[in-house]
Structure 1
């Protein structure tokens, strides 16, 4: 596998389209941080890290609207790819859906959203867009 983050996002996207409640994803430090960020911003219901084999597994409970059954995550888009990395300065951070979505940014302060990066005045690699 050449791009584990793209695989992570694709597994989430496929599980949402199939209306699954739980999705299992092979774990890594970056995937764990993205999962924590999605949970803190309210895009997923819960998560659990399990030590299974050499790598471990992330179990993510997806979030849906109780009445309309619409998923909380409508769109996941990988921005920075292994073949073409996308970096941005603090004054040129992207706004996703005019501020309604989040951009996950890898900075020297760790993995944070575009709004937090703007407050901290740091730039970095734009990992993905979520809304």
Structure 2
């Protein structure tokens, strides 16, 4: 059993991209749904659906490829259960000089670092995607 479920989700996505798998299945949770929503809005995945199985549900993520090249070149966990990383709006990280996104959990919901700067909120830096 994984203690850090978000890191498990990111690792499953990373492994599926490396294996060029079209779909990856992840145990669902509200925060994972929000992370998948952000990934879909930014074009890193085609879409995601939640399949109810009578327990917590399964998050099916359809990965995006263009001519065999994955849209997700890299995905990395920043804040961990042992070391939480919080950032105010002035110190939000820039990923690959603005070409990537940092996924931030704020008081206004899960959003990218670009959106957090526009909303003028900081929060927990969950992951980086490029």
Question: Fold conserved (TM > 0.5)?
Answer: yes
Secondary structure at the residue paired with 1:8?
A: helix
Unaligned residue ranges in structure 1 (runs of 5+): none
The corresponding residue for 1:70 is 69
The corresponding residue for 1:106 is 105
Matched residue count = 129
Structure 1 residue 104: Cα displacement:
0.2
The corresponding residue for 1:116 is 115
Structure 1 residue 40: Cα displacement:
0.5
Unaligned residue ranges in structure 2 (runs of 5+): none
- Relative to the length of structure 1, the TM-score reads 0.97
Q: Once superposed, what is the RMSD of the aligned Cα atoms? A: 0.6
Find the aligned partners of 2:106 and 2:113 in 1 and give their Cα distance: 10
The corresponding residue for 1:95 is 94
**Deviations along 1:80-127, whole A, 9 cap, x unmatched?**
000000000111111000001000000000001000110111100000
